[in-house]
Amino acid sequence: MQRLRTFLDGHCDNTAVVEIIDGLMVACKDIAYRLHLGSLAGVLGSAEQENVQGECQKKLDVISNDLIKDCLAAIPSVKGLASEEEELPVACNASGEYLVLFDPLDGSSNIDVNVTVGTIFSILKAAADSDAATEAAYLQSGKQQVAAGYVLYGPSTLLVLTTGDGVFSFTLDPRIGEFVLERQNIRISETTQEFAINMSNQRFWLPEMQQYVSDLLQGEEGPLGKRYNMRWIASMVAEIHRILTRGGIFMYPYDSRDPGKPGKLRLMYEGNPMSMLVEQAGGMASTAFENIMTVKPEGIHQRVSVVMGSSQEVETAISYHVKN
Ligand code: AHM
Ligand code: MG
């Protein structure tokens, strides 16, 4: 049995990044505890307020955000943080060298129905002269990430992370309150027969994406020549975890519902960290037009189109967009 801290000390020579990941897990263990208590902790339901994106916040969105913020602010190497639930970034320690971006509780529409949710995080190196209270300090492409990961709160609580040298997963052992190493050097299968997309948005997609999904649905009788299965949990952490376990393709593509917003998911809190994990596991992550991690961010809450997972299937999806 290898504990997270022991693993990180041996695997990553960046002690500041080790401190940040280790420290962040204090808040994530607290979130896991509250989620597992469910209604007994009085944390279910709406907080009756909206976040910066105009979305209704759940009580646990707010609680998780506060727990992670407090935890990160106490880590000396954290210079600043940005959260999906906060309009503006927050400066932490002037001498810190790293910026942490996070979605405190992704998939939170699932909280009240007792389905898997997760925390997603991304760590960037701060420029020496940057002001961590301003957005400009955080506007780095995904390729600049030094680490990324998620904590999945499901039947068991798991941490999946990369520091740029493979993907590793850890299970929270509630008997000792520690994450212990579960899987090493996780690889995503190159091919798949499983896709995940919210089909109710079909009419809003680009014609290229409509054609690709229509061909997936035709199964072995269509041009792709194989039968596909579909999953949609409405929780990106759960979908990406499934793909890291048995392959698949996950898509939240461009749609025309909200002109000016290319898709629903956020580049800095969801697209980039999940792309780093997927690429480190041998998969691909694209907007359908370019690598997600090369998108130059213009705002911390920017949206992005997402097509990621098994490399051959992502290439097939991209090929529909190139052709037309
Ligand atoms: P959130 O950050 O507000 O929870 O939204 C992100 C989530 C993803 O986890 C998931 O893939 C998607 O929203 C589900 O969207 P939909 O409600 O359209 O199914
Ligand atoms: Mg989210």
Looking from the CA of residue 118, the nearest atom of ligand 1 is 9
235 in a labelled binding site: no
Query: What is d(CA 25, CA 141) in angstroms, rounded to the nearest whole number?
Result: 25
Task: Report pLDDT digits (tens) over 175-215.
Answer: 999 999 999 999 999 999 999 999 999 999 999 999 999 99
| Domains of the chain with bracketed CATH | 4-183 (3.30.540.10), 194-322 (3.40.190.80)
* pTM, 2 dp: 0.95
Q: What ligand is nearest to the CA atom of residue 232?
A: 1
Plot region of 54 (φ>0 → left; ψ -120 to 50 → alpha; else → beta): left
Query: What is d(CA 64, CA 104) in angstroms, rounded to the nearest whole number?
Result: 6
What's the mean per-residue pLDDT of the chain? 94
Q: What ligand is nearest to the CA atom of residue 53?
A: 1
Q: Which amino acid belongs to residue 65?
A: N
The pLDDT, as a whole number, for residue 241 is 98
ipTM computed for the complex: 0.97
Q: Which of 251-255, 256-260, 288-292 has the lowest mean pLDDT?
A: 256-260
Mark the residues whose beta carbon lies below 5 A from ion ligand 2: 103, 106
For the cut 80, the answer to whether the pLDDT of residue 43 exceeds it is: no
Contact of 100 with 78, CB cutoff 8 Å: yes
Contact of 124 with 276, CB cutoff 8 Å: no
The b/e string for 144-177 (b: 16+ C-beta within 10 A; e otherwise) is ebbbbbbbbbbeebbbbbbbeeebbbbbbeeeee
Task: Name the token pair of 221.
Answer: 């009788």
Contact of 144 with 164, CB cutoff 8 Å: no
Looking from the CA of residue 234, the nearest atom of ligand 1 is 14
Per-residue pLDDT band at 40 (split at 50, 70, 90): confident
Radius of gyration of the chain (CA): 19
270 in a labelled binding site: yes
Contact of 143 with 98, CB cutoff 8 Å: no
What angle do helix axes 15-37 and 59-73 make, rounded to 10 degrees?
150
Task: Name the token pair of 49.
Answer: 């307020």
Please name the residue whose Cα sits nearest to atom 6 of ligand 1: 107
Task: Report pLDDT digits (tens) over 219-250.
Answer: 999 999 999 999 999 999 999 999 999 999 99
105 in a labelled binding site: yes
CB neighbour list of residue 128: distance below 8 Å, 6 or more residues apart? none
C-alpha triplet 49, 52, 57: angle, nearest 5°: 35
Ligand 1 pocket, Cβ-based, cut-off 6 angstroms: 55, 84, 103, 106-109, 198, 234-236, 252, 264
Task: Report residue 46: phi and psi, to 5°.
Answer: -85, 150
Sign of CA dihedral 295, 267, 239, 18: positive
CA 263 to ligand 1 center in whole angstroms: 11
Looking from the CA of residue 265, the nearest atom of ligand 1 is 6
In a mutational test of the pocket of ligand 1, which residue from 56, 150, 151, 198 has the highest number of ligand atoms less than 8 Å from its CB?
198
E strands present in 126-177: 145-153, 157-162, 168-173
Q: What ligand is nearest to the CA atom of residue 56?
A: 1
Contact of 279 with 273, CB cutoff 8 Å: no
The pLDDT, as a whole number, for residue 260 is 73
Please name the residue whose Cα sits nearest to atom 4 of ligand 1: 107
Please name the residue whose Cα sits nearest to atom 16 of ligand 1: 234
103 in a labelled binding site: yes
Average pLDDT over residues 285-293: 97
Instruction: For residue 105, give the H/E element and its range.
Output: strand 98-106
Q: What ligand is nearest to the CA atom of residue 235?
A: 1
Q: How many C-beta atoms lie closer than 10 Å to residue 198's C-beta?
A: 13
CA 111 to ligand 1 center in whole angstroms: 12
The pLDDT, as a whole number, for residue 111 is 87
Task: Report pLDDT digits (tens) over 122-155.
Answer: 999 999 999 999 999 999 999 999 999 999 999 9
C-alpha triplet 260, 262, 264: angle, nearest 5°: 115
